[in-house]
Amino acid sequence: MQRAALRAARAPLLRFFRTARPVLAADKEALLELRRRTGLPFLQCREALLRCGGDAPQAEAWLREEAQRRGWSKAGAVRGRRAREGLVGLLREGPAAVMVEVNCETDFVARNAEFQRLVEQAALGAMAHCRAAAPPAGCSKHLLQADELAQLRTGPGGALLSDHLALAIGKLGENVALRRAAWLRVPEEDGYIAAYAHGWLPAAAPVAMGTYGALVACRVTEPRAPAATLEEVGRKVAQHVVGMAPTALGTPQDQPRGEEETRLLAQSFLLEPGLTLGQFLRARGALAVCDFLRFRCGEEPGESGAAAPR
C-alpha cells in the first residue's frame, strides 16, 4: 500500500518532466536560426533559449549583452598582445569614399566572417561620419585615429563601434583593434573617386577588403568620358598607388628621378613602365588626380601613402 501511494504521488511529477522537453528538441529551427544570426556556439544559443523560455528575440538580446560583457572582460586580458594582421576595407558612395583598417592577431581570424563583419561596420560608421560633414568646395580629406573611430556609430541610433568591437573580441578570442580610418570627398559635378583593394573580397562587394587599399580623388576632364572608362582608368591609377607606394602627388610636368621616385605623377606607371603616370593620364584623358590615400595593413605609423603638398 505504501509503495502504491508513493508511485501515485510521483506520477504527476514524472509526467511534468516528460512533457517539459528541452528547447533543442522542442524548437531545433529556432536554435539553428539563433546560431545563424549571432554566430555563437550551439551550447550558448541553447542556454539563451532555455533562460528566455524559448523566446528567440529575447535570447538573441541576452546573447549579445553577454557576448559584449565577456568581450570587455576579455579585452583587458588580450590588450597589449601584438595585432598586426587584419584587413583594410573600402566603401564608395558617389562622391565620397572611406577606407578603414581593423587589426587582429592572426591571418586565420582575418578570414573569419565575424571579423569581416566588424570591418564592414567600421566602414559604414566612417561613411556616416563623412556624410554628416559639410560638403566640400573642392576635394577634401579627413583622417580618423583609433579613439575617434571607436566612438562612431554605424547609423542613426546604432551601437558604437566600440561596442561592436567588444562583441567581436568576445566571439573571436583575439586582440582586435580599430586602427584608423580616412575619407576622401569630391564635388558631385566634376569629381570622381577611384578605389582599389588588393586582397580577398572583390571590388564589387559593398565593402571591398584586402591587405592593401588605395583611394584616389580625381577631377573628371572634358569632354566627359563614359562611366566605364572612368572606372577603368581610375582603377588603374589606384592599383598603381597600391603597388608603387607614392608619398607625394607632384605635378604632370615633373621629370622622373629614377626608381626612387616617390611623386605619384612622376613615377613610372605600374602597368606601362615606358610612361610616367602623368604621361599616361595626359594620353588617356578622362581623369586628373587631385589627392590620394594608401593603407597597408599592419604598417608602422607614418608609412601610409598620402599626397603631400606639391
* pLDDT per 10-residue tile (average), the chain, 310 residues: 48 40 59 74 80 87 76 63 91 96 94 93 96 86 94 85 86 91 95 90 77 97 95 97 96 87 96 94 94 94 55
Please give the single-letter amino acid code of residue 10: R
Q: CA-to-CA distance for 34 and 53, rounded, in angstroms?
A: 14
Can you give the pLDDT at residue 70?
67
What is the predicted pLDDT for the residue at 201? Answer: 61
What does the pLDDT read at residue 304?
A: 61
C-alpha–C-alpha distance, residues 55 and 85, integer Å? 38
Cis peptide before 135 (omega within 30 of 0): no
Q: What's the confidence (pLDDT) of residue 68?
A: 67
- Whether residue 306 contacts residue 294, with contact meaning beta carbons closer than 8 Å, is answered with yes
pLDDT at 204: 62
Residue 39 gets the label, from left (phi > 0), alpha (psi -120 to 50) or beta, of left
Sheet architecture: strand order including 191-198: 191-198, 212-220, 287-296, 305-306
Q: How far apart are CA 293 and CA 212, in angstroms?
A: 11
Q: What was the pLDDT predicted at 138? A: 87
Domain extent listing, the chain: 21-78, 85-306
Inter-residue contact 272 to 233 (CB < 8 Å): no
The Cα–Cα gap between 239 and 231 comes to 12
Rounded to whole angstroms, the Cα distance separating 208 from 197 reads: 6
Residue 193: C-alpha distances to residues 38, 196, 221, 284, 293 (Å)? 35, 10, 13, 17, 11
The pLDDT, as a whole number, for residue 41 is 65
Report the pLDDT value the prediction gives residue 45, as an integer from 0 to 100.
Answer: 82
**Grid cell of 119 as nine digits:** 570591418
Q: Domain 85-306 is of which CATH architecture?
A: 2-Layer Sandwich (3.30)
Q: What is the largest CA-CA distance in the chain?
A: 110
For the question of whether the overall pTM of this predicted structure is more than 0.85, the answer is no
Residues 6+ apart with CB under 8 A from 109: 85, 115, 172, 174, 176
Cell of 191: 569629381
Q: 21-78 adopts what CATH topology? A: Helicase, Ruva Protein; domain 3 (1.10.8)
